[in-house]
Structure 1
Amino acid sequence: MTSGNTHRNWKRKVQCFGAALLTVSMLAGCGASQTANQAESESTEENLVLMEETLPQTAPDETVMALSPDGPLLPSVAGVDAEYSEPIPDYLRIGEKHPIVLKLQQRLMDLGFMDNDEPTDYYGEVTQSAVKIYQRQNQLAQDGIIGPDTLEAILSPDAKYYAAQKGDEGTDITRIQSRLYELGYLASDSQVTGSFGDATEEAVMKMQSVNGLDQDGKVGRKTMNLLYSEDVKANMLAYGEKSDLVLAAQKRLKELGYMTTEPDGSYGNDTIIAVKQFQSRNDQIVDGYLGPATRVALNSSDAVPNGLSLGDSGDNIQRVQNLLSQLGYLKSANVTGYYGEVTEDAVKLFQRTNGLSADGTVGVMTMAKLTGGDAKKAPAQPKTNTSKNNSKNNSKNNSGSGNKGSSGGSSVPNTGGASGGASALLAVASSKLGCPYVWGSKGPNSFDCSGFVYWCLNQVGVRQSYMTSSGWRNAGRYTRISSFSNLRAGDIIVVSGHVGIVAGGGTVIDASSGNGKVVHRSLSSWWANNFICGWRIF
């Protein structure tokens, strides 16, 4: 390698990682040598000219430093060697593994280009996809490779948060359009194309108008956060509306066992409860709105009918319990909204009394009989059974519905081993190790973090509706764990922007965007520092 090439390569790394400290004395030395040695060979003079062209012209006290979120990344060439034990590649691309990748992932997460997660040193497909979107937004070549220009742009303190606008194309646009369609702002699923055109811009502006945001037609931080918020206002059939369309939906919900009242065409609380229950059973976003995607699923021949059973909770459970109570199968004190063993026993007795299969599950036929007006009342119960049932209610029917979290420190928890339901959950979770991370995916062969938890719980019989990581902050149905150190195997751990399943030995199994797949890893300080709460299910 020639001396000129050596200088050029060194300069490129300096520009990439902010490590050069070049003083004017170097140049002065070159100039003095050139003046004092006029008689030197022509080749030597050419070499000096080449050096002057290669090295940047700086004032005596100037330094050349790359930018980062907190200022210069590294103060000197020596700093590069000191921070990283192995040379930093000139170009970072898929498959690379280097400590600098961890810093870049964290920056991309902070800017909204990657889902929040514990960053890693691996440059996988998820990182590559985030880099491509960043390059698109910053008018850089969309090759998914981090070279000098891309690196400087990402680490700049002036780097802009994620934003999508007209003319953009990509998988992120597909996700935005899918959500706009679910909320009723895009009229047809044929408009979910991955290309941000006029129809998408109009849909974004309409969504912004309905929700009180500035109508710029761009999906920036506020618009993106609102899209997946429980507070977002949809452009579709909702509470207070009255129409034949609502009536038709109610009749279908009744047919599938979700409606507990007579259809009347008015979108009231009972309809919201039924729609949410349907959405949770049919892989829809649980928002209580009859949007296009929910209506398609509702009218599909593949629609999953209702089936309330042990462990379920919610308003629909409370309505069923009220019906059972009115017919004498359940004491009013047992109307808790939680489907415990007392409720299961009451359902079995109702089924036997009314000539149904006594499986303890409220399916379509049981729901139809409960709400049909011709159900038989409960036979007279011996007094001894009443006290027994009350005792069972106190100990079992309300289990799982309280918040018993404790406060404490944030040391790595001694999560121990798992048994029973927790052991089954971890076995299911472990069976998916290595499956790819895909944003918005709910399994069975690819997942995002919340989709992974959702799928695993349902595989072991816990009928949990799909919730985003933010939704898991207020799950409410399970026992809340408020201290990181009190977590144990089988718990669901919720951190800022992420969720996973606690495993034994102070570890966690989760769908990791940083690793690009489902992994089993340590509950490191990152989890402790970002900890919000845990939920004990078993």
Structure 2
Amino acid sequence: MEIFMFNRKLLRGTSLLLTASMLIMTGCEQQISATEGTESESEIVVTTAPETESVEMVAALGINSNVLPSIAGVTVDDSAEELAPVNLTVGVINSVVKDLQQRLMDLGYMDPDEPTTYYGEATSLAVQYFQRQAGMAMDGICGVGTWDAIMSESAPHYALKLGFQGNDVTHAQYRLYNLGYLYNGSDINGIYDETTMNAVKKLQETNGLTPDGIYGTSTYNLLYSDEVKANVVALGEQSDLVKKYQQILINLGYLDGEADGNFGLGTQNAIKAFQSRNDQVVDGYLGPDTRTALDSPNAIPFAMRLGEQSESVKELQQYLVKYGYLSSDKATGYFGELTKSAVANFQRRNGLTADGLAGAKTISLLHSGNAKKNTTTSSSSSSSSSGSSSGTASGAAGTGGTSAVTIPSTSAVGAGGATVSGSAAALISIAASKIGCPYVWGAKGPNSFDCSGFVYWCLNQAGVGISYMTSSGWRNPGRFKRVSYNELQAGDIIVVSGHVGIVAGGGTIIDASSSNGRVVHRSLGSWWANHFIVGWRIFS
């Protein structure tokens, strides 16, 4: 094979080591092996353990491994390698890929993540987008010319410009359409044309950015922020269209009173509540997708659920206290596991489906004055309704010295005697079932994900009512318990600069990794500690 030596100055002193890892994937299942430097670590395999197994706290700082997918039974040489391939292509594993990925992340072509030695499809796509920006042939292969251009001090940052084509253009157009800046579904064509550029200009002008029509980092961040101003039916408007959808919201239980056509705060909050339960971006606007979802016979009706926080939740809790299903000190306005358990107990006692969701029938019965009181003594304790597990762990225990990472399926006791709930164990099991699924920017499941989409999908599958948020939105979601890096435990959400994942216990994490190109189960090492922003305890 033809080889050459990369410029060591460009690599900033990185030694060229062949990492001990190869990749193959069948469906969404794979095994994960860990390597770092010349010392090979044991393979990490996700399995399902009995309910007596424990979920451990994250290990202390100092774990520093680079975990990549591997093929069972393949012997890999991890000796030092002085030379790298002339052309970096999909499947190549070499230390220089770390530097390439880091540079692509710095320039905005690749989502921030812990760089790896694996040149996968996500890395190749990022290279293609750079080549497009630089006017080069878009082959996704990083040869000498592409390498030099990427590493150059004058390398261009990511931006969409007139004439560009790609899936990233389609994603931008779709969001512009739902915010009302593109008017027709046919405008979503994957081409950054005059119509799209003018829509971006209008978006920028409306939202206080320089209206240059260039879709760069600032515009991208704006599109998915809570502060974005739309160009669709919104707060303050009055029309028959508003009245029509108010009536639908009333019928679905999201809005009280009569439909009057005035788009006030109550209507906006009702729309947000509907969007969060119907797989919409939660922005409070009556955009095209939201109107389509409201018109659908499959629209999901209102029900308060795990993870919500509001005055309505507090009122629900006060009724549960009144009937003896919840202790008074738990009426905090946050719908946690104890509230879910109390609702399920109330439903069971009163002949309703015990799903732990506070829908119209449950709320109506609570308000009726005819509900049956709780006759048990343990009114505020968790029950099996909040600890049931869903999803199956991916991967099978390996042989030949493989150490298994166990994922419990019910309530467990973590390191230091801390109890980890069954809901946290269920979340980890759901996340583990998707190990090996491909990383795709903007994807929200069920079989491909980006980092935010993965956390969003897993939490909703675990019954946590949460809307889609980018990594920046996860910096302050407002209703979960904040924890430090050293306090992280299984089931917590970890937020680092530009990236989010689900802590799996034992010093590991499950996340949709752009650098690995798929959902992986890997160690929490120094990169995570150095880039850590905040941790969130969902289940307590």
- TM-score bucket of the superposed structures, by smaller chain: 0.7 to 0.9
CA–CA distance in 1 between the matches of 2:361 and 2:421? 35
Structure 1 residue aligned with 2:535: 534
1:480 aligns to what SS in structure 2?
A: strand
Q: Is the 8 A contact 1:328 1:378 kept in 2?
A: no
Structural mapping, 1:99-248, within 5 Å: 99-248=95-244
Structural mapping, 1:72-83, within 5 Å: 72-73=9-10
Of the structure 1 ranges 232-241 and 335-344, higher mean CA displacement relative to structure 2 is found in: 335-344
Q: Is the 8 A contact 1:273 1:315 kept in 2?
A: no
2:536 aligns to what SS in structure 1?
A: strand
Post-superposition offset of 1:189: 2.4
Is 1:450 paired with 2:439? no
Q: Is the 8 A contact 2:275 2:281 kept in 1?
A: yes
CA–CA distance in 2 between the matches of 1:425 and 1:108? 32
Q: Is the 8 A contact 2:324 2:373 kept in 1?
A: no
Post-superposition offset of 1:216: 1.1
Distance verdict in 2 for CA 1:323–1:278, change over 3 Å: farther
Is 1:467 paired with 2:469? yes
Is 1:427 paired with 2:409? no
Q: Is the 8 A contact 1:93 1:145 kept in 2?
A: yes
CA–CA distance in 2 between the matches of 1:81 and 1:435? 27
Post-superposition offset of 1:337: 2.6
Of structures 1 and 2, the larger Rg is shown by: 1
Q: Is the 8 A contact 2:11 2:99 kept in 1?
A: no
Distance verdict in 2 for CA 1:435–1:381, change over 3 Å: closer
CA–CA distance in 2 between the matches of 1:255 and 1:352? 27
2:303 aligns to what SS in structure 1?
A: coil
Post-superposition offset of 1:456: 1.6
Distance verdict in 2 for CA 1:352–1:97, change over 3 Å: closer
Structural mapping, 1:44-443, within 5 Å: 72-73=9-10, 85-309=81-305, 311-314=307-310, 316-318=312-314, 336-339=332-335, 341=338, 361-366=357-362, 376-377=368-369, 420-443=422-445
CA–CA distance in 2 between the matches of 1:443 and 1:327? 40
- Residues 497-523 of structure 1 deviation map (CA, whole Å, 9 limit, x = unaligned): 111111122111111010011101010
Ranges in structure 1 where 5+ consecutive residues have no aligned partner = 2-8, 20-71, 397-412
Q: Is the 8 A contact 2:326 2:380 kept in 1?
A: no
* AA at the equivalent of 1:464: I
Q: Is the 8 A contact 1:327 1:377 kept in 2?
A: no
- Residues 282-330 of structure 1 deviation map (CA, whole Å, 9 limit, x = unaligned): 1111111111111111111221122224553235535766999999999
1:435 aligns to what SS in structure 2?
A: coil
- Residues 237-278 of structure 1 deviation map (CA, whole Å, 9 limit, x = unaligned): 221112111111111111111113432211122112111111
Distance verdict in 2 for CA 1:87–1:337, change over 3 Å: same
CA–CA distance in 1 between the matches of 2:306 and 2:139? 51
* AA at the equivalent of 1:175: H
Q: Is the 8 A contact 2:302 2:359 kept in 1?
A: yes
Q: Is the 8 A contact 1:258 1:306 kept in 2?
A: yes
Structure 1 residue aligned with 2:488: 487
Q: Is the 8 A contact 1:450 1:467 kept in 2?
A: yes
Q: Is the 8 A contact 1:480 1:534 kept in 2?
A: yes
* AA at the equivalent of 1:440: G
What TM-score, normalized by structure 1, do the two folds share? 0.73
| Structure in which a larger fraction of residues adopt strand | 2
CA–CA distance in 2 between the matches of 1:241 and 1:322? 35
* AA at the equivalent of 1:491: D
- Provide the aligned length of Structure 1 versus Structure 2: 448
1:520 aligns to what SS in structure 2?
A: strand
Of structures 1 and 2, the one scoring higher in RCO (CA 8 A, sep 6+) is: 2
What TM-score, normalized by structure 2, do the two folds share? 0.73
Post-superposition offset of 1:485: 1.3
Is 1:502 paired with 2:503? yes
RMSD: 3.9
Post-superposition offset of 1:452: 1.3
Distance verdict in 2 for CA 1:218–1:364, change over 3 Å: same
CA–CA distance in 2 between the matches of 1:502 and 1:511? 12
- Residues 383-437 of structure 1 deviation map (CA, whole Å, 9 limit, x = unaligned): x99xx99x969x99xxxxxxxxxxxxxxxx9799956222222222111111111
Ranges in structure 2 where 5+ consecutive residues have no aligned partner = 19-36, 38-79, 384-413
Q: Is the 8 A contact 2:303 2:358 kept in 1?
A: yes
CA–CA distance in 2 between the matches of 1:318 and 1:452? 30
Distance verdict in 2 for CA 1:195–1:528, change over 3 Å: same
Of the structure 1 ranges 425-434 and 135-144, higher mean CA displacement relative to structure 2 is found in: 425-434
Of the structure 1 ranges 131-140 and 465-474, higher mean CA displacement relative to structure 2 is found in: 465-474
Q: Is the 8 A contact 2:161 2:192 kept in 1?
A: yes
* AA at the equivalent of 1:468: T
